[in-house]
Each structure stands twice: as structure tokens, then as C-alpha cells.
Amino acid sequence: MDMWTTEKMPDQTGKSVVITGANSGIGFETALALYKAGANVILTGRDADAVGNAAVKIAIAEGSGSVSQGILDLSSFQSIERFTDRFLAEHQKLDLLINNAGVMTPPESKTTEGFEQQFGVNFLGHFMLTAKLFPLLKKVKGARIVTLSSGAHHYAKGIDYDNLKIEKGYDAFREYAISKLADLLFTTGLQKRIDQLGFDLLSVAAHPGVTKSGLARHMAKADYDAALEQFGDLMPAWQGALPSLFAATSAEVNKGAYYGPDGENELFGYPAPARLSEAASSEKLADELWAFAENRTGLIFPF
């Protein structure tokens, strides 16, 4: 695959896009690139001021799209309900949903519904959001759902359903890895169900490699410094956003696929197919996770 950058991105004029966690880092750069390509971009995030500031920065950039904003806290089912109810009332279609928002290795914490924060935000909140917005996505031939994962998913061999509310203790990185495995199982599980129902939709995943962003804000300084020593300088956020943008727009994308940087160990570089772990490739694990998510959210999706 030739080196892919935003210069190769197809025109996005008229397309409507929802991006979670779009106020900073990779989410912001993803939104900015799509705006410049002509898309109508809806930025979402928890903090109204942060989302508003991001929207202003994008609106003054050179581009032919439009930008609007919505408040969405993925750690709260009630917040997801509020956002999606309003969105469904105000919009007729949705071309692209980018499940970008993420939490990485925070102090022990839980969502409103009592789930471990990383699992709750990175996977369960995005499952619910996608389910609620699916009626608008399925109206658009070729619509896409892009879900962000991480190379950290290789460290998770499965999902411990007996510890998703921290019943047995908390390990920040272990829980992060499990949440990112869940994102990949969601991606492939969603594509399987889309195909079964005969919809013309793509569910794909991407990861940014090692990128400079606010995601690492919870890392201890010693751990962060050690990472810098191991990896050298991190990629800028605009480059870390390229796998997401490739997955969202390229005609070369395959359904149910996973994309990341093309360099050694997928840490740096430009978009290319990424490697799924054995666990992430398991249809059995994906079906178990799907049943769990439907049970906990009360959403039978996408049927």
C-alpha cells in the first residue's frame, strides 16, 4: 500500500459525521480533516467549553464543510440517551460514526452504571451510541462505523465478566487492554450482523500507534518518560489520526477490517492493515460480548 495521507482522501461534501472525543488529540485532527474535505462534522465530548473551543478552531480553518457540536458523556447511559434522542429528532441520516473517545489507565473509577471506567466508556458507551444511531446509519448506502482500538488489545486474552465492575480488583493497564479487545470484538460482531441482515454498511476498526495526545494524561511521569525512552518521540496527532481517516474514507477499506501504522510493531508510520490477536478474531468471544452488551444496555441491536 502506498503511503496514504489526507491528500488522497475522497471528497466528503454533504456527508454527516459524528465523532466522539473530538475536542482534542486524534479526534480533533480527524474532525478537522473531514471538515476540510467538505463533511458536516458533529463534534461530541463531555465538556461543553472544550467542545465549543474545538468547534471554533475548526470553523476558522480553511475548508468547505460545516461544524456543530453536542454534549455526550459516554460514561452515562442517560447522557447517551439525551444526545441520541436529540440527534435522531434533528437529523435524517448519518454517513459516518467515528467511535474515537477513549480513557487510558485512569485511577480506579466507575461509570454512572457502575462499570469499570475504561470498559464502560471505550466499549459499552460506544455500543449503546452506535445502537441508538443505527436507524440513521442504515439509511445511507455505504455508511461506516469506525471504532478505535489499540495495539494493547494483544495483552488481553479474553474478557473477565466477573470483574467488569471491579469485583475482584483493578489493574489499570489490564482493564485498558480488555476494553480495546472489546472494541475489536464489537467491530467484527457488528459487521457479522450487518451482513446477516443484508445492509450495505461497513464496520471497521483503527488504531493510532504511539501518538502524542491527551490519552496518556493518567500515566505516571516515570512510566511516560520510560515510554519516550523506549519509542523515541511520539507521532503528532495529525499522523495518529490517519488510520481513522483511512478507515473512514478510503475505497480500499474492507468490511470488518482493522488498520494502523505500517511501521515496525505498528507503532509509527502510515495506514495499513493491522494485526488482530487470536482473541480479537474469535467469533465465539464476539457473540458472548454482544449478548452481554445487549443485556446490560437493554438494546437488541441491530435487529
Q: Which pLDDT score is estimated for 224?
A: 41
φ/ψ of 6, rounded to 5, equals -65, -15
Q: Tell me if the bond preceding 236 is cis, omega within 30° of 0.
A: no
Q: What is the DSSP letter of 88?
A: H
- Pick from 120, 110, 107: nearest CA to 171: 107
Dist CA 249 CA 48 (whole Å): 28
Strand-pairing partners, residue 206, are 148, 259
176 is catalytic: yes
The model scores a pTM over 0.85:
yes
Write the CA distances from 81 to 188, 199, 259, integer angstroms.
Answer: 24, 24, 30
- Neighbouring residues of 91: CB distance < 8 A, sequence distance ≥ 6: 16, 136
Q: What is the DSSP letter of 265?
A: G
Please check whether residue 166 is in contact with residue 262, taking contact to mean a CB–CB distance below 8 angstroms.
no
Place of cell 494483544: 154
Q: Which pLDDT score is estimated for 213?
A: 59
Find the catalytic residue in 35, 176, 258, 270.
176
CA angle, 82 then 26 then 2, to 5°: 130
Q: Is 295 exposed, middle or buried (0-12, 13-18, 19+ CB in 10 A)?
A: exposed
Q: What is the DSSP letter of 144?
A: E
Place of cell 472544550: 50
Dist CA 32 CA 131 (whole Å): 25
Dist CA 105 CA 103 (whole Å): 7
Domains and CATH numbers, the chain: 6-297 (3.40.50.720)
Dist CA 282 CA 241 (whole Å): 27
Q: 10-residue block means of pLDDT along the chain (303 residues)?
A: 90 98 96 98 97 96 95 98 98 98 96 98 98 97 98 97 98 97 98 96 96 56 46 80 98 97 91 97 98 96 75
Q: Which pLDDT score is estimated for 226?
A: 44
